[in-house]
Amino acid sequence: MNLKGSLPLLILHTLQSGQLHGYAIAKLIKEESEGILDFKEGTLYPTLHGLQKQGMIEMFQEIENGRQRNYYRLTTKGRESLESELDEWREYTRAVNAVLKGVTPS
């Protein structure tokens, strides 16, 4: 499965509840997907940087437990994009489910 294509949407969705550092974003996605979506640093951080370049998220630094961490938060543009992408995702999943109707889980 090409899970990387859904990562920007998952990151934007995860950040809508508040600011997080990269590890926390990956951990939350993994937990909420019951371990199925497990994005590693080599996939996560380039996507975060790409979203930052597009103006969807912004990065800032804070000290946590004596260690400097990069935190990310949604921008206004990111919130607007999230709504649009969620609409597209719903349409896409409806179409795929329509094609796969009758397919039973194994």
- pLDDT at position 103, please? 76
Nearest alpha-carbon partner for 24 in 67, 72, 65: 72
pLDDT tens-place string over residues 7-34: 999 999 999 999 999 999 999 999 999 9
Domains and CATH numbers, the chain: 4-99 (1.10.10.10)
- Is the pLDDT at 106 greater than 70? The verdict is no
Contacts of 38 (CB under 8 A, 6+ apart): 26, 30
pTM of the model: 0.87
Contacts of 99 (CB under 8 A, 6+ apart): none
